[in-house]
Amino acid sequence: MVLETTTKIKAYSEDEAKGLIEKHRAAAKSEGYTLKKAGYEYKTKKAKGEVVGEAWVVSLTKTYNGLWEDLGE
């Protein structure tokens, strides 16, 4: 039984990153998990001192049923 997962997703803008977090937050109850932690980090790739690529990495930690919930307590 999976108790917790952490997923990282690449987004191409800050708005997209925020939207992904909100989408997973809204889907949490219907999909049977709690969004324990969510955030994003801005990353850049540089070549010769110039930014040649950028991305936002969204990190989502989802908690599924508690450790003892399958015992019916």
Q: Where are the domains of the chain?
A: 4-71
pTM here?
Answer: 0.82
User: Pairing state of beta strands 33-47 and 50-64?
Assistant: antiparallel
Edge-first strand listing for the sheet containing 4-11: 4-11, 50-64, 33-47
Q: What is the pLDDT along the chain (73 residues), one digit of tens a residue?
A: 788 999 999 999 999 999 999 999 999 989 989 999 999 999 999 999 999 999 999 999 999 877 666 665 5
